[in-house]
A and B are shown apart, each in its own frame.
Chain A
Amino acid sequence: MQLSLRIALIIATLIYLFFILRAIRRKKLQISLSVFWIFTAIALIISLAIPNFIEQISKWLGFEVTTNMIFCVTIFIAFYLIFSLMILISDLKRKNVKLIQEISILKKKVEDIESNMKL
């Protein structure tokens, strides 16, 4: 990888890290969820800063082309992310159903009491 490309990528990653930190500071992202994004940014910077780092690892693991390893890792991470989001959605859905039920029952109770008081 050429030096100029590496520097450009490192700068891009730093900007990415800046946006993540800004989002956390403005409380748009929970800290527990942001750990993942900070780690990916740090891992990216490290692997870009050390010359031939990615190439060496991919050779060592037995990938024929370096980009194959990058695609492979990226897809795995994306799968993991989608899966954890699905778990999160299922959990939210369940809680949402419970909220709707409880609120609706409460509303009915309140209406019953109000109509009783009028009588």
Chain B
Amino acid sequence: MKILLIIPAYNEQDNILKVCKTIEKYNEKNEQKVDYVVINDGSKDKTLEILQENKLNHINLINNLGIGGAVQTGYKYAYNNEYDIAIQFDGDGQHDINYVKNICEPILKGQADMCIGTRYLDKSKSEFQSTFMRRLGSNIISLFIKMTCHKQITDPTSGFRAGNKQVIKEFALDYPTEYPEPESTVCLLKSGYKVLEVPVSMNERTGGKSSIRLWKSVDYMIKVSLAIIIDSMNARKKVK
């Protein structure tokens, strides 16, 4: 079983080494090893130098693509190298490596094609629940997904998600690069893939900036809602 962590990184010079070290530590402790690939999305700081100096497995995008394009590069890499499971993992230390097991479990058991790590399912565990505004945004997007796909996804913007071989292929060929997390979920659901959620806890960002800023969030919400509706309209049913 080959597992790949896709780590998109944009200006993450303070975090990226730490993140890779935790993965190496995880591999020492666990039998199921995980590979990782850092996608350097045209960072303007010293991220690339750090990746090269420490010989971390990385792909350096020759131009900035944004999170969606960076993650798709990871899926293409996973597809080319025939990985069985690909997991999106943030380069800013927000995600906890120890949940990789949990997030892979439904896929290994064949219960799901994609598994999303959700912040909101288990309230007691999570130290970082995120702000009110973010919750509100997530709820609205959830509502839209429920209306179009008839499936409850409590944390549609979570970047911590694992996909099996079919999902990797699907994403490598066609990935919504504009609003990747919610849109890709809708596309998969509409194509008849099984999507499950497992509770995870996330850490607060230790450095760097979140890609969603407050003043942009209204604009983001409108466009994501529109994207979900459009995606749900022209998604094709997969022959399974």
Contact = CB atoms under 8 A, between A and B. Distances in A.
16 contacts: A100-B61, A100-B62, A100-B63, A101-B65, A101-B69, A101-B76, A103-B62, A104-B60, A105-B73, A105-B76, A105-B77, A105-B80, A107-B60, A108-B58, A108-B59, A108-B77
B60 A108 contact: yes
B72 interface: yes
Contacts of B60: 104, 107-108
A97 interface: yes
Decide if the interface of chain B is mainly helix, strand, loop or mixed: mixed
Interface in A92-119: 97, 100-105, 107-108
B80 to A, nearest CB: 7
Contacts of B63: 100
A105 B62 contact: no
Nearest to B55: A115
B152 interface: no
Nearest to A108: B59
Contacts of B77: 105, 108
Interface in A17-75: none
B80 A100 contact: no
Given A100-B65, A107-B62, A108-B58, 7 more contacts: A97-B65, A97-B69, A101-B76, A103-B62, A104-B59, A107-B59, A107-B60
Interface string B55-95: 00011111101000100110011001000000000000000
A112 B160 CA distance: 28
B148 interface: no
Interface of B: 58-63, 65, 69, 72-73, 76-77, 80, 177
What range describes how many residues of A lie at the interface? under 10
A32 B61 CA distance: 34
A100 B70 CA distance: 10
Nearest to A100: B63
A78 to B, nearest CB: 25
Contacts of A107: 59-60, 62
A104 B80 contact: no
Contacts of A105: 59, 73, 76-77, 80
A104 B62 contact: yes
A108 B73 CA distance: 12
Contacts of A108: 58-60, 77
Contacts of B58: 108
Nearest to B75: A101
Contacts of A102: 76
B70 to A, nearest CB: 9
